[in-house]
Structure 1
Amino acid sequence: MDEQDLNKLKRRITSSFKLSGFLIRTDNSTFLAEQLFPFEETEREKWLTVIIENLQNQRLETVQVERSVLEKAINEINRVGLEEGETVFSLINSYSIPRFNYNSQTKKFERDTTARKIFAKPSMKSGYLRERYAMLLQKTLRHELFAPAVIEGGVSADSRAKKFKLLYAENLLASSSVKEAVVLGLLTQIIEGKFFVEDPTGYVELDLSAARFHSGFFCEGCFVLAEGTFNNGVLKVDGLGFPPAEPASSSRAFFGTQNTWGGDSTKLLKYSNRLQEVERTNTEATIVFLSDVRLDAPKVMEKLKMLFEGYDSCPPAAIVLMGPFVTANRNHYELRDHFTALGALAAGCDHLKKQTDLILVPSSDDPTAANILPRPPLPALLTAGLQKAWPRTLLATNPCRLQYCTQQITVCRLDLMTKFCRNTLHFPTDTENIDQHFARTIICQGHLTPIHPIAIPVYWDYDPALWLYPLPDIVVIGDSCQSFSISQHGCTVLNTGSFVKSKFGFKVYIPSTRTIEDSEIPDQME
C-alpha cells in the first residue's frame, strides 16, 4: 500500500466530509481510506459519495463521525436491496439461539421467552429431555408408519402399507401382555446391567437378547423406537431403531415464518428471495473449515501462512478454525502469544483481512471454560493481538451456527465418533459404512450429542442450541477421525478430519453449488 497515495485519499475523505457538514478524526479517516484504497480512483469517488449519503440518512446527533457509524454505513451499502435484518453472512452463537416448545393442542412450536441460565433450576434436569422427547414424538406420529390411515371411498388409501400404533409406557404397564408393541422413549440404564425405555409416563424393562438393531449408534441417552412383545413387565425387543428423520421443509411448516435459526432477522431468512438471488449469483463465495489447528506447532503455522497467502487473491466469505489451538498439557497462557503470531502471518494479506471473517471455535481442550456444551467463546484477552491484526476475527461458541444467505450451517468441534463407538450397545457390523451410521444417528435424533450426559455434559437450559431440528443444510463436525461427507434427508454431514493428522487437509464449501471440495496445503506453493 503506497503511503503517499493513502495520505492523498485521507485528505480527500476529510475534505468531502467537511463539505457535507461532517467532521472525521484522523484514525477514522485512515480506516475509511484503507477500505476504499483497493478500488480504482473513479470507484473510490462513487463509494465515498454513497457513504456520505448514507450518513446523511442516518440523522446523526452530532457532526462528528465515529467508526461504528462508518461501519454501519459500509455494511448497509454492502447489502443493497436486502431488508432489515437480512445479512449475506453471519455468525450465531449458542447462547443467543431461540428456544421453542411444542404445543400439543395447536400442533405448533411456540417461542419460549423465559430467561435462561447456565445454572438452571433442578427441574430442568428432566425438563430438557421432555422437550427433546416432545420434538421427536410429534414428528414420529406424523410419519407414514404411524399416522392414521386415510380413508377414501370406504377403502384405506394406505391399506397396502403396514401401520404401527405407538404406545406409551403406561399403556404397557397397565396390561399383562401385548403382542405387537412399539414404544418411543429414552434408552437408559436405571438398574446397573439392565436397560429400559423411558417416556414421561413411566419406564419399561427391555430384553435385548434377540434384538435386531437398525442402522446407527445406540448409546445410553438416545431416544429409540423399541418394537417387540410385552409380557410380565418386560418388553422382549425384536427390533430397535431410531425415530424417523424428517426433511427440513416438512418440519418448518410447524414453525411458520418464525426465525428458528437465530440472528437479527425476525423472519427466517430461508424464505428471502433477495438472498436466494445473491446466493445463486455469487459463485466465487466459499467457506473454509479446518479443525485441530495447533498453533504451537511450527509446521502448522507455516502451512497457515501458505493458506492465507493463497487465499489473498480470492478471499472466502469465512475461514473457520477449530481447536484445540495448543497441544495438551501445555501452558495455556502461551496461547495469547500464538494468536498474536497467527495475526502476524497475514500481515501482507490485505484483501483477505478486509473481506474474510476469521472464526475461532474452541474445543474442550482449550482454556478457561468447563468441558460442558455449549462451550463459551475463547476469552478476548487471549485473542486481542489477533483481533488487532485481523479486525474481522469472530469468537464463536462450540457449537455455533453460520448463516450464508439462505443456507444454515451448524459447526461443532467434538470427537463424536469416538464417543459413539465407546458407548454404543451394538457396534455396526458393516464397519466400511461407519460414516453412514454416524450421520443417521445425529439426523434421526435431531441432536448433536444424543448420548448420556456423563459422556458429554450439556447445560440443561441451553440444550436447544444443540438441536438439529429443523435439519440445517450442513452439519460440520470437527472430529479428529477420518474425514467424510454424507448427505441424508437433505442434510449434509461433513467431518473435516484433523488438520495435523491429515497432512494439512481441509474442507472448502461452495454455497452456490452446495458442494464440498477436499483441499490440502502442498509442501511447496507454486
Structure 2
Amino acid sequence: MDVDLLPLRKRITNTFKLCGFLIRSENSSYLAEQLLPFDAAERDKWLTVITENLQSQKLLTPHVERAALEKAINELNRVGLDEGETVFALIDAFTVPRFRYNQRIKKFELDTQPRQLLTAPRMKSDYMQQRYAMLLQKTLRHDLFAPAVIQDGVGAEAQAKKFKLQFAENLLATSVMKEAVVLGLLTQLKEGKFYVEDPTGCVQLDLTGARFHAGFFCEGCFVLAEGNYNNGVLKVDGLGFPPAEPATSSRAFFGTANTWGGESAKLLKYSAGLQELERTNTETTIVFLSDVRLDLPIVMDKLRQLFVGYDSCPPQAIVLMGPFTASTRNYHELRQHLDALGGLAAGCEQLKKQTDLILVPSSEDPTAPNILPRAPIPECLAAGLLKAWPRTQLATNPCRLQYCTQQIVVCRLDLMAKFCRNTLHFPEDTSQIEQHFARTIVCQGHLVPIHPITMPVHWDYDPALWLYPLPDLIVMGDSCQSFSSSQHGCTVLNTGSFVKSKFAFKVYIPATRTIEDSEIPDEME
C-alpha cells in the first residue's frame, strides 16, 4: 500500500505547488488514501477540482491543512445537490417544526411561536385539540365521509354508502339520532364509564355489544364511534380508528414546506438529485439494534464482532438504542461503558470514517425524566466515545433520520406492553398482533396514542411525535418479539431486544426499501 502511495503523494505535492499551495506529508498521505481507488485519469480530474475548490476557499496561508481538504472533498461529494440538501441527517425531536391546521384555507401553516418545556397551562388542552384537528381534516376527506357527488346521473349514495360525521354538540342538542358517527377522544370521565370527547362536548358510550375494528383501543386515543344515540347515551355498534391517509395525499396540504425538519427550507422528498443518489447507492445500509446493554461483557464482545465485520463494508449509520446499562443512579458508570464502546472500534478505521454511530436513550438512561420527547445522553458522559469515534451523534428519543428522500422515525419505547395492558378490547386474532400494533399508530398519526398518565408528553413538543404525513419507515425499539408490517406505504419495524433475541438486529436497505434479519453467531471464523 505504501509503495502505491509514494508516487501518488509526489504527484499531489507537485500539483499543489503549481497552484501555489504547500502541503505537509501527513496531509498528502490523507489525500492519497482518498484518491487511491481511482485510476490515473480520475485522479487527475479530482486533483484539478480539489485545487480549484481550495482556491475558492481563500485560505489565509499557502499551507493546506487537513480541515480545508476535508471541506473540499465534502463539498465536491455534494455536487448536484442544492443548498441545504444533505444525503444523511439526524434531526433532533426538539427542532421538529410545528404546524397548525387553518380551517379557513384548509392548509397547514407553520407555527413560529417559541416553545419551552415548562409551557403555558393552556397547552395542556391545545396539543390535544391540534391532534384532533389533524385527524378530523383527513377523516372528512375520506371516501366514506366526503360529500356526495353525482356521476352519470346516479347519486353517490346509490353507489356506496356515505356517512355524515357528527359533533358531540349535534347529539347533545337532540334526544334521538340513528346511525350517528362521532370522531373524538376515548376517555373515562367517570369510573367505569367511557365517553367520546371533541372540542364541542362529550357523549357517554355504551360499549356492550360493540364490534371493535382492528387495533388497540386505549384510553387517550381517538376513535370513530358509530351507533344509535338515545337520551344522552350513544349505543355503539362499531368502534374504529380514523382512516389512514397515504403520505402523498397528506403532503398536498403542506405545500413544499419542510415538515420533516433539518436545514433545508423545502421538503427533500422532491429533490431530483437526492432521488438519483438514492437509486444509485444500492450498497447503502442502516443498522438498528435495541436494548444494547453495555454493562454486559457478552454484549460488548458481540458489538466488537459487529464493528469488525462492518469495517470492510461500512453502513451509512449504526443506530444503538438503550437502555445502555441497568437502571442506576451512578451516572459515571455509564461514562465508563461508553468509553469502552469507543475502544471496541479500535482498528476499524474505515467504519469510524464513513459510519455515523447514533445513540438513542431509553427511559432508564440518565439524565432526563420519563417524558417524551426525551433529551439525549449528556455530552459529558460520552466525551470519551466522541473522541474515539468522531462521527458519534447523541440523539433524542424519538428522533428522525433523513436519508436522501426517505424519512425514518426511530423511537425506543416498550409500547406493545402498554397497548396490551391498557386496551379496552384485546384483538381476537393474536397471530396478527403486529398488524394491530402498526395499524394503531398509523391510523392515529402519532407514536404514543395513549393516556398521558401512561406515557407523559411535553405539551409544546407533541408534534415531534406526529406520524403525519406518514414517514417511509417507523423503527420501534420494543423489547417484544421483532416484526415488520406495511400500512399505506409506511413500514413499521420493531427491532426486538438485542440481548433477548440471541443478538439479532435489523438492516435496512434504502435503495430497495427492504429489511434484512441479521444475527451475530456464537463463533466467527
TM-score interval, normalised by the smaller of the two chains? over 0.9
- 1:490 maps to what in 2? 489
Q: What is the CA-CA distance between 1:464 and the residue it aligns to?
A: 0.4
Q: Is the 8 A contact 1:149 1:159 kept in 2?
A: no
- 2:142 maps to what in 1? 143
Tell which deviates more after alignment, 505-514 or 332-341. 332-341
Aligned mates of 2:23, 2:243 — CA distance in 1: 59
- The residue identity in structure 1 corresponding to 2:198 is D
Q: What is the CA-CA distance between 1:36 and the residue it aligns to?
A: 2.8
- 1:167 maps to what in 2? 166
- 1:102 maps to what in 2? 101
Alignment of 1:316-465 (within 5 A): 316-329=315-328, 331-465=330-464
Aligned mates of 2:386, 2:47 — CA distance in 1: 26
Q: What is the CA-CA distance between 1:385 and the residue it aligns to?
A: 1.1
Alignment of 1:18-167 (within 5 A): 20-21=19-20, 29=27, 32-33=30-31, 36=34, 39=37, 42=40, 46-59=45-58, 69-157=68-156, 159-167=158-166
Change (3 A) 1:20 1:270: same
- The residue identity in structure 1 corresponding to 2:239 is L
Q: Secondary structure at the match of 1:152?
A: coil
Q: What is the CA-CA distance between 1:147 and the residue it aligns to?
A: 0.5
Give CA-to-partner distance per residue, 1:158-216, whole Å, 9 cap, x none: 52211110000111111111111110001111122211111111111111122111110
Q: What is the CA-CA distance between 1:8 and the residue it aligns to?
A: 9.6
- The residue identity in structure 2 corresponding to 1:132 is R
- The residue identity in structure 2 corresponding to 1:130 is Q
Give me the CA root mean square deviation.
2.4
- 2:468 maps to what in 1? 469
Aligned mates of 1:95, 1:168 — CA distance in 2: 33
Q: What is the CA-CA distance between 1:129 and the residue it aligns to?
A: 0.4
- 1:256 maps to what in 2? 255
Q: Is the 8 A contact 1:36 1:47 kept in 2?
A: no
Change (3 A) 1:267 1:66: farther
- 1:282 maps to what in 2? 281
Q: What is the CA-CA distance between 1:49 and the residue it aligns to?
A: 4.0
- The residue identity in structure 2 corresponding to 1:142 is R
- 2:516 maps to what in 1? 517
- 1:199 maps to what in 2? 198
- The residue identity in structure 1 corresponding to 2:359 is L
Q: Secondary structure at the match of 1:155?
A: coil
Q: Give percent identity, aligned residues only.
A: 74
Q: What is the CA-CA distance between 1:118 and the residue it aligns to?
A: 1.2
Give CA-to-partner distance per residue, 1:303-358, whole Å, 9 cap, x none: 01111111111111111111111122373311111111111111111111111111
Q: What is the CA-CA distance between 1:389 and the residue it aligns to?
A: 1.3
Change (3 A) 1:445 1:64: farther
Q: Secondary structure at the match of 1:121?
A: coil
Change (3 A) 1:158 1:327: same
- The residue identity in structure 2 corresponding to 1:428 is P
Q: Is the 8 A contact 1:326 1:332 kept in 2?
A: no
Aligned mates of 2:45, 2:394 — CA distance in 1: 34
Q: What is the CA-CA distance between 1:131 and the residue it aligns to?
A: 0.5
Aligned mates of 1:472, 1:35 — CA distance in 2: 38
Q: Is the 8 A contact 1:85 1:265 kept in 2?
A: yes
Q: Is the 8 A contact 2:5 2:33 kept in 1?
A: no
Q: What is the CA-CA distance between 1:69 and the residue it aligns to?
A: 4.8
Tell which deviates more after alignment, 195-204 or 271-280. 271-280
Q: TM-score if structure 2 supplies the norm length?
A: 0.94
Alignment of 1:226-241 (within 5 A): 226-241=225-240
Aligned mates of 1:258, 1:35 — CA distance in 2: 41
- The residue identity in structure 1 corresponding to 2:393 is L
Aligned mates of 2:281, 2:262 — CA distance in 1: 22
Q: Is the 8 A contact 2:291 2:479 kept in 1?
A: yes
Aligned mates of 2:403, 2:182 — CA distance in 1: 39
Aligned mates of 1:18, 1:464 — CA distance in 2: 54
Q: Secondary structure at the match of 1:159?
A: helix
Q: Is the 8 A contact 2:12 2:28 kept in 1?
A: no
Q: What is the CA-CA distance between 1:155 and the residue it aligns to?
A: 2.2
Q: Is the 8 A contact 2:13 2:28 kept in 1?
A: no
Change (3 A) 1:231 1:64: farther
Task: Tell me the number of residue pairs that the alignment of Structure 1 and Structure 2 aligns.
Answer: 524
Aligned mates of 1:371, 1:45 — CA distance in 2: 55
Aligned mates of 1:511, 1:457 — CA distance in 2: 33
Tell which deviates more after alignment, 426-435 or 30-39. 30-39
Aligned mates of 1:161, 1:176 — CA distance in 2: 28
Change (3 A) 1:49 1:115: same
Q: TM-score if structure 1 supplies the norm length?
A: 0.94
Aligned mates of 2:69, 2:155 — CA distance in 1: 65
- 2:295 maps to what in 1? 296
Where do 5+ consecutive residues of structure 1 fail to align? none
- 1:189 maps to what in 2? 188
Aligned mates of 1:59, 1:273 — CA distance in 2: 31
Q: Is the 8 A contact 1:184 1:199 kept in 2?
A: yes
Change (3 A) 1:375 1:64: farther
- The residue identity in structure 1 corresponding to 2:377 is L
Aligned mates of 1:168, 1:66 — CA distance in 2: 67
Q: What is the CA-CA distance between 1:472 and the residue it aligns to?
A: 0.5
Tell which deviates more after alignment, 223-232 or 60-69. 60-69
Change (3 A) 1:23 1:432: same
Q: Is the 8 A contact 1:36 1:44 kept in 2?
A: no
Aligned mates of 2:16, 2:372 — CA distance in 1: 48
Q: What is the CA-CA distance between 1:506 and the residue it aligns to?
A: 0.2
- 1:310 maps to what in 2? 309
Q: Is the 8 A contact 1:387 1:393 kept in 2?
A: yes
Give CA-to-partner distance per residue, 1:400-456, whole Å, 9 cap, x none: 111111111110010010111111111111111110100000000000000011111
Aligned mates of 2:191, 2:61 — CA distance in 1: 70
Aligned mates of 1:135, 1:487 — CA distance in 2: 22
- The residue identity in structure 1 corresponding to 2:75 is E
Q: Is the 8 A contact 1:206 1:235 kept in 2?
A: yes
- The residue identity in structure 1 corresponding to 2:297 is P
- The residue identity in structure 2 corresponding to 1:241 is G
